[in-house]
Amino acid sequence: MDGSDASTSALQHAVALAEENDTTTIDVIHVHAPHSRFSVGSSAPLAPEAEAEARRDMLAAVECAKQKIGDRVTFRTEEGEPLVKLLEIARDGHYDLIVMGTHGRSGRLRTLLGSVADGVIRNAPCPVLTVREPGGEYESFAERVHHVPSVAEAEVEAAVHR
128: CB partners within 8 A, 6+ apart: 97, 98, 99, 100, 117, 120, 121
Domain annotation for the chain: domains and CATH numbers: 5-160 (3.40.50.620)
39: CB partners within 8 A, 6+ apart: 2, 33, 45, 46, 51, 54
Neighbour count for residue 159 (Cβ, 10 Å): 8
User: What 3-state class would DSSP assign to 29?
Assistant: strand
pLDDT tens digits for range 120-146: 999 999 999 998 876 655 566 666 666
**pLDDT at residue 49, rounded to an integer:** 84
- State if pTM tops 0.85: no
Q: Picking from 3-7, 29-33, 70-74, which range would have the lowest pLDDT averaged per residue?
A: 3-7
The answer to whether 137 and 43 are in contact (CB under 8 A) is no
pLDDT tens digits for range 66-99: 999 999 999 999 999 999 999 999 999 999 999 9
Using 50, 70 and 90 to split pLDDT, how confident is the model at 52?
A: confident
Separation of alpha carbons 115 and 132, rounded Å: 13
Separation of alpha carbons 33 and 80, rounded Å: 5
